[in-house]
Amino acid sequence: MKKVILIAAALLMVFAGVAAVSAYEAHKINVKAHVENALTVDTVEMDFGTCFPEEILIKEANICLSQSANESMGEGGVSGNLSSVTYKVFGEYKISGTNPTTYYKWIGEWLWVGDENATAPDANSPNLTGLGWYRVGPEPDPGYSGTPDPMAMPIPGFESTIDAQNRSDMLKVMLLVPAFHDEYNAATDAYVKPQWWLDLIDAGLWPRLPGTGEPGVDLGMDLKIQVTNIARNP
């Protein structure tokens, strides 16, 4: 009987040892990722150069899927797992020169953006929003001291999605050049400007620059393309 008990105890110790060893069993899962931009943006400077009061000037920039995003979405009849990329456009203060606390006078009061469907206004245009334009708007931190806070603001209402049916966008940027306060004549302007322009003035959406225009003023800002959503197929 004693021998049986010893054998059972020995077996119990062996089983316990096996259990203890198996508790330290390990497995490895390899985790990797390759990070890359989803969009390729034409970042050539939009320099309107020297312009004159009440001119209407338009420039364009391409926004499209990166090569890898195109491959992830699928090409040549082969579908991929990337479904779409959504982005918004932000207006940001632009540093003037090399001084990080000196910024261009905000141009957003007179700047509008739209996609490739936005059309240039003419004398018969009812309004700019009906033509697909979105105003950048007032500066985010007027009267700032030092570094503005916030530094950037989204352009209200503007958002675009690139997908398999629309793999690139044309971003249009329109400048309605402001007049100078001391040189502006409302009475004569009413005869030469279209009604939609006069409506902008009445609504306070086309402020005037102070002074006479001598020696002129530099306006500027940065437009930032911010990806806001990446959708993938199940």
3-state secondary structure of 178: coil
pLDDT tens per residue, the chain (234 residues)?
656 555 555 555 555 565 555 678 899 999 999 999 999 999 889 999 999 999 999 999 999 999 999 999 887 656 789 999 999 999 999 999 877 789 999 999 999 999 999 999 999 999 999 999 999 999 999 989 889 999 999 999 999 999 988 899 999 999 999 999 999 998 999 899 999 999 999 999 999 999 998 889 999 999 999 999 999 988
Please give the pLDDT value at position 80.
Answer: 82
Is 226 part of any domain? yes
Q: Which of 87, 68, 34 is nearest to 230 (CA)?
A: 87
Domain count, the chain: 1
Is 7 part of any domain? no
As a whole number of angstroms, the distance between CA 96 and CA 87 comes to 27
Is 15 part of any domain? no
Is 24 part of any domain? no
Is 8 part of any domain? no
Measured at the CA of 168, the angle between CA 165 and CA 172, to 5 degrees, comes to 125
Structure tokens at 183: 């040189």
Residue with tokens 């995003």: 69
Domain span including residue 152: 37-232
Is 20 part of any domain? no
For residue 63, how many C-alpha atoms fall within 13 Å in the half-sphere facing its CB?
Answer: 26
User: How would you classify residue 133: left for phi > 0, otherwise alpha for psi between -120 and 50, otherwise beta?
Assistant: beta
Q: Which residues lie below 8 Å from residue 65, measured CB to CB, with a gap of 6+? A: 38, 39, 40, 73, 85, 162, 167, 168
Prediction pTM value: 0.84
Is 31 part of any domain? no
DSSP letters spanning 186-226:
HHHHHHHS-HHHHHHHHTT-SPPBSSS-SS---EE-EEEEE
Please give the pLDDT value at position 146.
Answer: 85
Is 48 part of any domain? yes
